[in-house]
Amino acid sequence: MFTGMPPWGWISLATSTILVCWQEFRIFRIGRESKKREELFQIVTENAADMIALVDVKGKRLYNSPAYKRILGYSAADLGETSAFEQIHPDDRFKVLEAAQQARTTGVGQKLEYRIRHRDGSWRVLESVAGTIRDEKGEVTKLVIVNRDITERKHAEERAEHNSFHDTLTGLPNRRLFLERLQNLFNRKQRNPERQYALLFVDLDGFKVFNDTMGPAAGDQVLAEMGRRIGSCLRDEDQVSRTGKDLSTHNAVLSRMGGDEFTILLEDLKDPSDAMRVGQRMLAAISAIFLVEGRELRTSASIGIALSTPAHERAEELLQEAEVAMRRAKALGGSRCEVFDEAMHTRAIGKLKLEAELRHALEKKQFRLHYQAIVNLKTARVEAFEALLRWQHPEQGLISPYKFIAAAEDRGLLVSIGRWAIEQACRQVCEWNAAHDRSDVCIAVNLSARQLADGDFMNGVGAALRSNTIDPACLHFEIAEKVAGGDPRQTARVIANLKKLGVGVILDDFGMGNSSLITLPQFQVDGWKIDRSLIGEMFTDRAAAEVVELIIFLARKLNMTVTAEGIENAKQRDRLCELGCDLGQGFLFSQPLEAEAAGELLRQPLRTQVAAWRH
């Protein structure tokens, strides 16, 4: 019966079990009669892990091994009348027929993959090879098919394939797939440039700080949620269909580029303003309240938009432009959309240069501190100095913090610069107190949001205090009201830790942020420093005057020290003195000065002013 056995190479493709079996057969074919071989075939097939089937040339089942039935969820009785062919996936039937035909004519089957229905209705993927069995006349009468269930392997391969093009957190296409699609679109539009497309680059505002503070699990939650929200903006009106988790269609592709960056390709824009409309919708969706670990939080994003033009020579140019526009949106305060233009390009190049230069400046120790006196308005005595950062540029001279501080903060450099500033300021005040036989001169250092979120911040403060043997009460930190309100819980935690050390904390630029009176008590600070714009407008804007009065009144009620910043003339000073403001700072008393010049102010108290304002 088992004539025309296929060569063993054929079977080795499928299974080692059957390979052994086949070698056995060859031995039997040489020395024993067919009955014995039949028995052996049966023993091997009944025990093989692979699925072995015997069918006639019309596909009728003659035999199915126990593994075959078990893997497809059948008992022996169940399978009896079912047609093997009908169980095969309709899309795979043709190739199975073809392979069977080939095996019949050549006697050698091809390795083949096809899907077959499990009893529960699901599809199993099988890898199989077929061999022929001929009768005495040499006619092929039966096919032996050896199948291996490779469903799990196939799924794993599909998952790996999906993951290499998709972001596992959001399920969205990743950078690689996005770039591929951008390139395809670019190629197509090169041939057919009349329809415009746009690239939107979305970057969440302050995500790094959020992630550092709340932890990566909360960060992941936010990213997944934001991915969904951005996707929903595309789905509603831009006819984006959803295939699995892949938000892509003929006219919009949303991807996660990495970190907190998402990109969207909008095809076939009727009007460039459509891209702006989509961007605005995304801003609204992103800024809605979300819940993380039971807390209600809100975030915002900066969105850059680049529109396709015939001038683009490479697909990536569009991506670069959208990123530049996004950075512009961020520089303008975030929570906005900006469309790329040429002026941005020039500015972006300048900014890149600035970042590189800042790193260099840190290495080359080009940062300096200048000190501005803080004066007791009742006694005219200099009680403290505010340490203000400057960049001593080798070619451009002294650079104002306004020109570089945002970039340094944005790139995380302000943490290192800030740490240096704390150490330097402590050393300086230690020196002044010693030189002027005082122990009460204080130093105020400004803090940035990144420093508040820096896990190593308190260690830096402790180290600066220890190495300079200064009374912790002589060190004050100024936290701008806007910075403090960024993550109020974190701010409150840092303030509490500083208080434990005995260090003073002041809310800077007070009256200009958005802290409400209800949230203020959670910051256990020692004082408020009234924003200089309010002082500047005291005599020109009634509302400003009233806010100043109210702040001083409240501070006195709450037993807080109140400092007025930006005092430029005697009129302002006198009015503030009248209102009961404790301390004053401004050009009227002194500009920010180098350490030596500032120290001189301790030697010669501000007699001129005293005479003027003490009637």
- Binding footprint of Mg ion on the chain (CB under 5 A): 446, 478, 508-509, 565
Question: Residue 587's binding partner, choosing from Mg ion, ligand C2E, none, with beta-carbon cut-off 5 to 8 A by kind?
Answer: ligand C2E
Comparing CB distances to ligand C2E, the nearer of 112 and 389 is 389
Q: CA 397 to CA 508: how far, in whole Å?
A: 28
Q: CA 335 to CA 283: how far, in whole Å?
A: 7
Question: Residue 213's binding partner, choosing from ligand C2E, Mg ion, none, with beta-carbon cut-off 5 to 8 A by kind?
Answer: none
Q: CA 312 to CA 320: how far, in whole Å?
A: 11
Closest distance of CB 400 from ligand C2E, Å: 5
Closest distance of CB 291 from ligand C2E, Å: 31
Residue in 160, 145, 152, 195 with CA at minimum distance from that of residue 13: 145
Closest distance of CB 567 from ligand C2E, Å: 6
Q: CA 76 to CA 85: how far, in whole Å?
A: 18
Question: Residue 454's binding partner, choosing from Mg ion, ligand C2E, none, with beta-carbon cut-off 5 to 8 A by kind?
Answer: none
Comparing CB distances to ligand C2E, the nearer of 338 and 409 is 409
Closest distance of CB 535 from ligand C2E, Å: 8
For residues 282 and 233, the answer to whether their CB atoms sit within 8 Å is: yes
Closest distance of CB 315 from ligand C2E, Å: 39
Inter-CA distances, 108 with 53, 69, 311, Å: 16, 25, 58
Question: Residue 405's binding partner, choosing from Mg ion, ligand C2E, none, with beta-carbon cut-off 5 to 8 A by kind?
Answer: ligand C2E
Closest distance of CB 392 from ligand C2E, Å: 14
Comparing CB distances to ligand C2E, the nearer of 174 and 561 is 561
Closest distance of CB 371 from ligand C2E, Å: 10
Residue in 8, 50, 46, 10 with CA at minimum distance from that of residue 25: 8
Question: Residue 254's binding partner, choosing from ligand C2E, Mg ion, none, with beta-carbon cut-off 5 to 8 A by kind?
Answer: none
Comparing CB distances to ligand C2E, the nearer of 261 and 509 is 509
Q: Is 4 exposed, middle or buried (0-12, 13-18, 19+ CB in 10 A)?
A: middle
Comparing CB distances to Mg ion, the nearer of 149 and 478 is 478
Question: Residue 104's binding partner, choosing from ligand C2E, Mg ion, none, with beta-carbon cut-off 5 to 8 A by kind?
Answer: none
592 pairs with which residues across the strands? none
For residues 379 and 430, the answer to whether their CB atoms sit within 8 Å is: no
Q: CA 592 to CA 385: how far, in whole Å?
A: 9
Using CB atoms, what's the residue nearest to Mg ion? 478
Closest distance of CB 402 from Mg ion, Å: 12
Q: Is 373 exposed, middle or buried (0-12, 13-18, 19+ CB in 10 A)?
A: buried
Closest distance of CB 223 from ligand C2E, Å: 28
Residue in 440, 439, 457, 438 with CA at minimum distance from that of residue 448: 457
Q: Dmax over Cα atoms in the chain, in whole Å?
A: 132
Comparing CB distances to ligand C2E, the nearer of 52 and 480 is 480
Comparing CB distances to ligand C2E, the nearer of 186 and 385 is 385
Closest distance of CB 159 from ligand C2E, Å: 46
Comparing CB distances to Mg ion, the nearer of 50 and 481 is 481
Closest distance of CB 487 from Mg ion, Å: 19
Comparing CB distances to ligand C2E, the nearer of 317 and 568 is 568
Question: Residue 568's binding partner, choosing from ligand C2E, Mg ion, none, with beta-carbon cut-off 5 to 8 A by kind?
Answer: ligand C2E
Cα end-to-end distance, the chain, whole Å: 127
Q: Is 50 exposed, middle or buried (0-12, 13-18, 19+ CB in 10 A)?
A: buried
Residue in 377, 370, 333, 390 with CA at minimum distance from that of residue 565: 377
Instruction: Please give the structure tokens belonging to residue 458.
Output: 């308190």
Question: Residue 372's binding partner, choosing from ligand C2E, Mg ion, none, with beta-carbon cut-off 5 to 8 A by kind?
Answer: ligand C2E
Q: How many residues does the chain have?
A: 615
Question: Residue 566's binding partner, choosing from Mg ion, ligand C2E, none, with beta-carbon cut-off 5 to 8 A by kind?
Answer: ligand C2E
Instruction: Please give the structure tokens belonging to residue 495.
Output: 């303030």
Q: CA 570 to CA 378: how far, in whole Å?
A: 14
Using CB atoms, what's the residue nearest to ligand C2E? 586
- The sign of the torsion formed by the CA atoms of 558, 563, 566, 572 equals positive
Question: Residue 6's binding partner, choosing from Mg ion, ligand C2E, none, with beta-carbon cut-off 5 to 8 A by kind?
Answer: none
Comparing CB distances to ligand C2E, the nearer of 154 and 427 is 427
Closest distance of CB 408 from ligand C2E, Å: 9
Question: Residue 334's binding partner, choosing from Mg ion, ligand C2E, none, with beta-carbon cut-off 5 to 8 A by kind?
Answer: none
Comparing CB distances to ligand C2E, the nearer of 128 and 372 is 372
Comparing CB distances to ligand C2E, the nearer of 206 and 227 is 206
For residues 468 and 443, the answer to whether their CB atoms sit within 8 Å is: no
Q: Is 360 exposed, middle or buried (0-12, 13-18, 19+ CB in 10 A)?
A: exposed
- Cβ partners under 8 Å of residue 531, min gap 6: 509, 510, 511, 512, 565, 566
Interaction site with ligand C2E (CB under 6 A)? 372, 388-389, 400-402, 405, 414, 418, 421, 446-448, 478, 480, 508-509, 532, 565-568, 585-587, 592
Q: CA 486 to CA 226: how far, in whole Å?
A: 19
- HSE (CB half, 13 Å, CA atoms) of 403? 15
382 pairs with which residues across the strands? 375
